[in-house]
Amino acid sequence: AQSVTQLGSHVSVSEGALVLLRCNYSSSVPPYLFWYVQYPNQGLQLLLKYTTGATLVKGINGFEAEFKKSETSFHLTKPSAHMSDAAEYFCAVKGRGAQKLVFGQGTRLTINP
Amino acid sequence: GAVVSQHPSWVICKSGTSVKIECRSLDFQATTMFWYRQFPKQSLMLMATSNEGSKATYEQGVEKDKFLINHASLTLSTLTVTSAHPEDSSFYICSAPTSGDYNEQFFGPGTRLTVL
């Protein structure tokens, strides 16, 4: 069975600082990997995804993530945080051929002025 | 990208009443849709998989008689919370996958249910 672990339920950074949200997965074969963002009282918006090919994936709003098979990780980064980045972030995994997404527990990102 | 809508966006009801939440895929067809429940400051919990033209598949621990799911068409799934109680108050989110190799899921904006 697949699982996702997000290290740190709450991350706080200063505006302009590097954002690093950690995600590790467990899967017998390389799965599809996703990062979603959720603003208060809203649904989930896809930031980026890894399916195959290049391991460094660029997404919307300046975010990117790197798939590292050897570390079973898919950490999300952004070079310079903006106040509008404050939200809840979810890492998710889906097995190839599977329908269901498995979500991590989420990381709340707070941006300090 | 594909768009999924939910209606209503929020609802307040009295204990004992039933509430229906609609999930629609606006620009694509979805033979499968997913219903999630999200408690405050927690992750999404998959409740059930809605299958067009057949019975929904419920996750372990989810009461199928409590949370009725109907997937009557390729663009519409409904979740009915029957005899709602305050503990059913939550944020309900649906999603629909597109066809293709990795079946990317698109999420609705969610429905906030408050049961008084």
Dump pLDDT digits (tens) for A32-65.
Answer: 999 999 998 889 999 999 998 889 999 999 999 9
Contacts of B43 (CB under 8 A, 6+ apart): A90, A103, A104, A105, A106
Q: How many CA atoms lie within 13 A of A63 on its CB side?
A: 23
Which chain A residues are Cβ-neighbours of B1 within 8 angstroms? 46
A55-83 average pLDDT score: 96
Contact A94 B49 (CB under 8 A): no
Q: Are A103 and B43 inside 8 Å of each other by CB?
A: yes
Largest CA distance in chain B: 44
CB atoms B101 and A42 under 8 Å: no
- B36-85 confidence digits (pLDDT tens): 999 988 899 999 999 998 899 999 999 999 999 999 899 999 999 999 99
